Amino acid sequence: MDGTKGTIDGAAMLAQVQAWSAVNTGTANLAGLAEQAAMLEEAFGVLPGTVTLVDPAPVTAIAADGTAFDKPHGQHLLVRVRPQANRRILLTGHMDTVFPADHAFQGQRWLDDETLNGPGVADMKGGIAVMLHALMAFEASADAAALGYDVLINSDEETGSLASAALIAELAAGKLAALTYEPAALPDGTLAHERGGTGNYSITFTGRSAHAGRNPHEGRNAIVAAADLILRLKALETPEITINPAKLEGGAANNVVPDHAVLRFNIRPKSVEAGAAFDQTLGQLLGAIEAEHEVITHRHGGVTRPPKKVDAAAQRLFDLVRECGAELGQSIRWQSTGGVCDGNNIAACGVPVVDTMGVRGGAIHSPQEYLIVPSLAERAALSARVITRIAQGALT
């Protein structure tokens, strides 16, 4: 068995995707994630390894009043097969979606004979099915004994993988290569190549309240200080980094000088150097804001996914995927993108990764999300062929 399309059961894959999509797995829906994790634990039990559920790492967030609180997450699924093998790879995916339990988008419908609309069908419950069935096909081949692998399906990718980042890094260490099952960058199957990075920040401002009419000069306006920072942040934008002030919270009655504010913003650095330079500059800006507005600031957050560059080793993996696609009659292309995923985290560990090995589809993160159903078997065959070639020594 060589991982060709004839070895893949597309009907079984579709049935799994539809069953998984019927379970709401918004990142904050712990009950739904637990139900999904149990289904995945059973499904991946067909592989010849150990299947465990791993508790999430602690994560804190900043509330609207500026206080830190613990943010709970679901368990992650970990599969380990032949951990003592000389050649080992990492495969990753995520079970969470962007649609919370109270979102209107919960059901599935057929757009045509080959296109299914539903929450997570492309991003990435379809990708999980691609991963599983590729591994099932690989395990039936004569080359399986030559390769070990770890599979991680985390519960928090859609919110930055803060509860799984350390586990990703631990599993990536020493791996020959990695495959991640985000949907293709374009409906034609185009892969994401280089990626920018991302960082999320929450800045808390503490000023001094006062009556807006009687003694405003005695107050220290936290909203004004935050607004000043917003303008200074936007002035820092260059072709190497964009900055998006996203939410400003605080204040009370119109006749009270606000003594509290929280500013939340996102950055998108195109290089590690740009992210590091911003972080240093932010510290200087906060010092200036404190001095000029006589407020106290507190910073929470930072760069969570470094930019993903494609070095020579990673390019070899991309070339291998393209070669395997050609063998199956699939034309594989790639392009750079501003989006981020766990592939950024893996690449930061120095491990070659192709992170859009999942299904063809589109409109992800919207109620129009769709899966091109024939791509389930198509992309599983591609992955099975790539994994087989790696087992045969294609990257060594």
CATH of domain 5-196+308-391: 3.40.630.10
Q: Which of 282, 273, 280, 278 is nearest to 203 (CA)?
A: 282
Residues above pLDDT 90, as percent of the chain: 98
Q: 247 pLDDT band (50/70/90 cuts)?
A: very high
Q: 7 pLDDT band (50/70/90 cuts)?
A: confident
Does the pLDDT at position 307 exceed 90? yes
- Domain boundary assignment for the chain: 5-196+308-391, 198-305
Kindly report, residue by residue over 120-145, the tens digit of the pLDDT: 999 999 999 999 999 999 999 999 99
Task: Give me the mean pLDDT over the 27-47 stretch.
Answer: 98
For residue 271, the SS3 value is coil
Distance CA 245, CA 201 (A): 9
Kindly report, residue by residue over 52-79, the tens digit of the pLDDT: 999 999 999 999 999 999 999 999 999 9
CATH number among 3.30.70.360, 3.30.70.3190, 3.10.105.10, 3.40.1280.10, domain 198-305: 3.30.70.360
- State residue 352's pLDDT score: 98
- State residue 6's pLDDT score: 45
Residues above pLDDT 70, as percent of the chain: 98
- State residue 124's pLDDT score: 98
- State residue 4's pLDDT score: 45
Distance CA 385, CA 297 (A): 53
Could you tell me the pTM of the whole model? 0.96
Helices (H) then strands (E): counts for the chain: 9, 20
Q: 5 pLDDT band (50/70/90 cuts)?
A: very low
Does the pLDDT at position 252 exceed 80? yes
- Here the tokens at position 141 are 């081949």
* Bond before 357 cis per omega within 30 degrees: no
